[in-house]
Structure 1
């Protein structure tokens, strides 16, 4: 069922659906009501539903603008649930703009970011979690993230949420039926097995939340900042993790003047490694700017790798206390580098609750230990193909639903309150799929999509 009547979306929208730049093929997408006349004006012929027709695309004077394929999808069997036309022409920016301008001449307006997908949601073709997975699939930075987004697009995440909501609704119905017929001498808690059923729902919800947390890692990754004194091997470690020479490595201290970023994958998790200027007291104006940027990166870090020179451990931080630069709660791992120069073996140690790794960035010794440690800090554990590519709002809704279930468990002696907590838990889960969504939330979500989607 459409979430919003089609009559409330009377205008026709159009946009270039392919990425900016030159390519072999470019696509202009159009969506609206009764688009057959527009298709005839563009091609000079009657469009055939769901068939690719090779044609010339015509301008206002009948001149050819381009030639390519025209596809016509009458409502409701289309992506948006409205009539949809796609013009597949040559992928030059000038040609695409000419075709788009022609569509605007024929009465369409330029689509807003995410408006095609928003209409698909409003017309009941996708729920909100599926709609968000469209953007997640486009933006996926790893193969694992793309596969997870595709599973959400197919509706698997939404189905799990709906099954849990159905369980809450069934339990709530039994509670309210008992409240409506108090004269029935039925021990509700025993007959309905309220607590075991609630615990089963809670267990399933916890499982979804755990997989959603893992999916959030797949989606956004982890910011890992390399910090320490100049010349302790930060750039060498970045190159070793990246598998190629991305940073300049010399014997001269202070080579790195700006933050250098490289994204790597460990078991499908994107790790954004940031090599920073060495922390030390300096009179060099440019280096001081780089050190200030290092401090800003430390504020945004999820994990800090504090590098120490195994040969000169007393010069760990160049006279700067890194601990004072860290945001409270950010995990800091001490990495003792250059162990090849002092005959130390790769190892993972713990000293006063702080993890210490012994590695050689130049020789690649202990790098596997470092990769495993980064996964541990991230909280990653393999889930096979069941990871949910969740957004922050999904996690918040799942946590809130779990909190309401816990409150319900403490209200078994007050059935009105028990039923209310079940209702609130169900509403929180409904926010994920869009059953309960404010218009301003929809605006924020879809405004982050690219134009043409």
Structure 2
């Protein structure tokens, strides 16, 4: 544990701005003297007390509730004091300053500072201490931030499920089964070569197969959880006046982008996050793709290609009202070739045939090998079909009730576990298995699992994770 983790800390724990209630939180060891200095009395543990909060001259700053949680029965595992006052920013700053002032002042009984070394907390430091004091594991700590940042109701429910330990329980189950298998392999290493059938009698291969099967199910749920948290970036691309801005407006249900009959109206990207069945989709409208002599439009087109190159999925919009024009089809073919050059093969392209309301059904081209939707951005016809296709290409499979929130690093760690277990299976299936290599693969798999919940984590990783939290958390 770093030296700074021993310091007592204080911070405003509620969001910036005005509100009905604001909270100043203190965490550290031995807060009794500070409680007397701030409240003028002792506080019963875990019982709200209504009293005035006074400055050094004895004048009331505000009146509110004080709550004292002796460690280890607190959020951080240390002694915690919460002052709940009116939520004005000036009042809370005065309370924060008073906490720092009272901590440095000498205690009447001992002559020592009431709480030496009290400082303002860094982002996420209260939750970091909860993790370091074994109140929560790392996956639960991340779930707290994900619950605060949730952009959809489904994401919030999934983050709450992770916070209660659903994801961690899955990881611990995998780890315990892996430890048991490692124990068998390590024990076998101590036997002579003629006793190698010890692993077969213990059904080590069956245990490994069960591990791989369970891991596959956990990975599927984790990938769904990561999708709920991160969403996907969807870029609308196509020629000018194909209806890109109209499609963005239709998907968002609001007039976000300017729509006119003038080609080249959209000069820069317009972005909106929508949700479909709780999955956030970051939809970006871009400038129409064509050759242009207008310098501003050319910059917009270059930015459009940058967005397309970074997309998770591309909606290639075609104008059915102009599909009979050879020049229009040729320009679409040129865009098609550019997409093939600039996009990885793993990025799905969805053909969207717009303005279906203005043509006969026979005009809509037959479905190609990739996903295709015919719609009208003006009337809304076909939008539900497009939403379904977007969920499909995003990889959404599960109902939100069965998913816990997960992050990209969790998915990457599980993929590493999968690779190590596959290598372990190859070693175990070999005619003369190298048991030392088998044991090493299982050890690496366990390390990858431990990194998810924090049993094995570097200080650098902790710094990155908790720095993304708000200061009062």
Normalising by structure 2, report the TM-score.
0.90
Are 2:335 and 1:315 aligned? Answer: no
Task: Report the equivalent of 2:115.
Answer: none
Task: Report the equivalent of 1:416.
Answer: 436
CA contact (8 A) 2:39 2:53 kept: yes
Distance 1:132 1:332, change over 3 A: same
Q: CA deviation at 1:151?
A: 0.9
- Among 38, 44, 50, the residue aligned to 1:48: 44
> Distance in 2 between the 1:391 and 1:347 partners?
40
Distance 1:339 1:186, change over 3 A: closer
Q: CA deviation at 1:319?
A: 9.1
Q: SS in structure 1 opposite 2:412? A: helix
CA contact (8 A) 2:185 2:199 kept: no
Q: Deviations over 1:206-248 (max 9, x none)?
A: 1111111111110010111111122111111112111232222
Distance 1:273 1:185, change over 3 A: closer
Q: CA deviation at 1:38?
A: 1.2
- Among 371, 376, 383, the residue aligned to 2:392: 376
CA contact (8 A) 2:353 2:364 kept: no
- Among 15, 18, 23, the residue aligned to 1:19: 15
Are 2:457 and 1:437 aligned? Answer: yes
Q: How many corresponding residue pairs? A: 448
Are 2:407 and 1:391 aligned? Answer: yes
Task: Report the equivalent of 1:191.
Answer: 201
Q: Deviations over 1:293-344 (max 9, x none)?
A: 2222212211111111101124265796254253323222121100111122
Task: Report the equivalent of 2:472.
Answer: 452
Q: CA deviation at 1:287?
A: 2.9
Q: SS in structure 1 opposite 2:361? A: coil
Q: Deviations over 1:89-123 (max 9, x none)?
A: 11111111111111222332111011000000111
- Among 168, 185, 188, the residue aligned to 1:178: 188
CA contact (8 A) 1:74 1:83 kept: yes
> Distance in 1 between the 2:88 and 2:133 partners?
33
Are 2:320 and 1:324 aligned? Answer: no
Are 2:76 and 1:80 aligned? Answer: yes
CA contact (8 A) 1:69 1:87 kept: yes
Task: Report the equivalent of 1:229.
Answer: 239
Q: SS in structure 2 opposite 1:251? A: coil
> Distance in 1 between the 2:365 and 2:470 partners?
44
- Among 150, 161, 168, the residue aligned to 1:158: 168
Distance 1:296 1:51, change over 3 A: same
Structure 2: gaps of 5 or more residues: 104-117
- Among 260, 282, 292, the residue aligned to 1:282: 292
Task: Report the equivalent of 1:63.
Answer: 59
CA contact (8 A) 1:15 1:451 kept: yes
> Distance in 1 between the 2:296 and 2:348 partners?
29
CA contact (8 A) 2:123 2:466 kept: yes
> Distance in 2 between the 1:210 and 1:347 partners?
36
Q: CA deviation at 1:186?
A: 7.2
Q: CA deviation at 1:372?
A: 1.1
Task: Report the equivalent of 2:360.
Answer: 343
CA contact (8 A) 2:289 2:335 kept: no
> Distance in 1 between the 2:255 and 2:196 partners?
74
> Distance in 2 between the 1:376 and 1:215 partners?
15
> Distance in 2 between the 1:286 and 1:44 partners?
66
> Distance in 2 between the 1:168 and 1:39 partners?
48
Q: CA deviation at 1:43?
A: 1.6
> Distance in 2 between the 1:47 and 1:174 partners?
54
Structure 1: gaps of 5 or more residues: none
Q: CA RMSD in A?
A: 2.1
Q: CA deviation at 1:254?
A: 2.2
Q: Deviations over 1:387-432 (max 9, x none)?
A: 2311111111111111111111122222222222212111110110
> Distance in 1 between the 2:469 and 2:100 partners?
21
Are 2:29 and 1:33 aligned? Answer: yes
Q: SS in structure 1 opposite 2:80? A: strand
CA contact (8 A) 2:235 2:284 kept: yes
Task: Report the equivalent of 1:111.
Answer: 121
Q: CA deviation at 1:347?
A: 7.9
